[in-house]
């Protein structure tokens, strides 16, 4: 069995060429519009998902709720509002009402 060589981060960085051109595929990747899981998940969105799981007492039920139109959100799906702070605040407000028995 051959012994594997161990590298430190400094060793690997020292091998990099800072003047190397960026490959076209990486340039294309940076210009692509996010369409799925590569969207940035904000701390607010994570907090909303955790809050919904806590209130629904089930990850599956919470995720189901997040994916359906909600009358209190003007029939918008909560998952479609997670990309803005204002959207997260709206969802949090509805979850707070549900937690306290107000289903209006």
Considering the chain, what percentage of its residues have pLDDT values greater than 70?
A: 88
Q: Which residue has the higher pLDDT, 103 or 63?
A: 63
Residue 31 has which token pair?
């210009």
Distance, CA of 49 to CA of 19 (rounded, Å): 42
| DSSP-derived secondary structure letter, 83 | T
pLDDT at 17 over 90: no
**Model confidence pLDDT, tens digit, residues 25-72:** 777 877 777 665 555 567 889 899 999 999 999 999 999 999 999 999
The strand pairing partners of 76, in sequence order, are: 70
How crowded is residue 73: how many other Cβ atoms within 10 Å of its Cβ?
A: 16
Domain residue limits, the chain: 43-99
């Amino acid at each position: 069995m051959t012994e594997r060589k161990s590298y430190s981060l400094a060793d690997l960085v020292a091998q990099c060429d800072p003047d190397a051109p960026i490959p076209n595929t990486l340039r294309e990747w940076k210009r692509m519009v996010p369409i799925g899981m590569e969207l940035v998940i904000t701390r607010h969105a994570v907090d909303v998902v955790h809050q919904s799981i806590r209130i629904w007492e089930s990850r599956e039920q919470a995720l189901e709720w997040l994916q359906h139109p909600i009358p209190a959100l003007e029939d918008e799906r909560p998952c479609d509002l997670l990309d803005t702070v204002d959207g997260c605040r709206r969802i949090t407000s509805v979850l707070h009402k549900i937690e306290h028995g107000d289903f209006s």
